[in-house]
Amino acid sequence: RNVERLMSLISDLLDLSSLDSNEVMHRTKVSTEEITNRVLKQLSPVVDSRKHAVKTVIDVPYVYADQKRLEQVMVNLLDNASKYTLQGGRIELKWNCESSSHVVFSVKDSGAGIAREHQTRLFERFYRVDRARSRELGGTGLGLAIVKHIMQRHEGSVSIESELGKGTTFFCRFPIHSLVNS
Ligand code: ATP
Ligand code: MG
């Protein structure tokens, strides 16, 4: 298990370093339904074992994004929603349009929520709200830092809305104008 953990730490650090050095995003037209189903399938062992009810809402048929990096964003956010929500919770994955300028992917959970003082720091490397508990759950605290970098490389952004005791929603915004490869 320690070797696996070390491998995943190294792989996360390599990803961050590549994203830092302005890795090129290979944007293509990605079907939101297909990529959502792929991510759900990949994480079904985690989500099923925790007996979460997952709902998907797909109001936008596609997004222009780097498929591999987008998948990584979605896996990280769904993994978090599942890890930090008690058994039997509710998770919603949603694709929608925000005015005519952005496509938004959001992940909403019915977990414990995150206090305001932590919300701005979550995207820092290695930052974890509850160090002891987070360590128990595995992971290294690089997931959201990677999500932030990937969204920046898409000229997009990631933001959070959370209330203690109610749950958390992460929003990833992709600009619609970015149709060309960059
Ligand atoms: P890794 O993603 O590297 O496996 P991690 O999940 O601890 O480890 P991040 O994904 O960067 O790291 O998340 C940072 C911290 O933010 C987590 O440790 C947790 O404390 C908090 N967090 C993230 N998502 C949620 C969520 N949906 N609900 C509550 N807390 C969250
Ligand atoms: Mg994580």
Q: What is the pTM of this model?
A: 0.94
Distance between start and end Cα atoms, the chain: 38
pLDDT, tens digit (0-9, with 9 covering 90-100), for 29-74: 999 999 999 999 999 999 999 999 999 999 999 999 999 999 999 9
Q: For residue 100, how far is its CA from the centre of ligand 2 (angstroms)?
A: 31
CB-ligand 1 contact for 114 (6 Å cutoff): yes
Task: Give burial (CB, 10 Å; 0-12/13-18/19+) of 158.
Answer: buried
Which atom of ligand 1 lies closest to the CA of 81? 27
pLDDT, tens digit (0-9, with 9 covering 90-100), for 149-173: 999 999 999 999 999 999 999 999 9
CB-ligand 1 contact for 147 (6 Å cutoff): no
Task: Report whether 106 contacts 127 (CB < 8 A).
Answer: no
Q: For residue 62, how far is its CA from the centre of ligand 1 (angstroms)?
A: 27
CB-ligand 1 contact for 129 (6 Å cutoff): yes
CB-ligand 1 contact for 109 (6 Å cutoff): yes
CB-ligand 1 contact for 73 (6 Å cutoff): no
Question: Does the CA dihedral 11-153-36-86 come out positive or negative?
Answer: positive
What is the rounded distance in angstroms from the CA atom of residue 173 to the CA atom of residue 111?
22
Give, using CA atoms, the residue closest to atom 1 of ligand 1.
Answer: 139
Which atom of ligand 1 lies closest to the CA of 85? 28
CB-ligand 1 contact for 89 (6 Å cutoff): no
DSSP letter for 77, please. Answer: H
Q: For residue 97, how far is its CA from the centre of ligand 1 (angstroms)?
A: 26
What is the rounded distance in angstroms from the CA atom of residue 8 to the CA atom of residue 146?
13
What is the rounded distance in angstroms from the CA atom of residue 72 to the CA atom of residue 126?
17
Token pair 């890795």 is at which residue? Answer: 23
CB-ligand 1 contact for 168 (6 Å cutoff): yes
What is the rounded distance in angstroms from the CA atom of residue 7 to the CA atom of residue 5?
5
pLDDT, tens digit (0-9, with 9 covering 90-100), for 94-151: 999 998 899 999 999 999 999 999 998 999 999 988 877 666 677 789 999 999 999 9
What is the rounded distance in angstroms from the CA atom of residue 75 to the CA atom of residue 78?
5
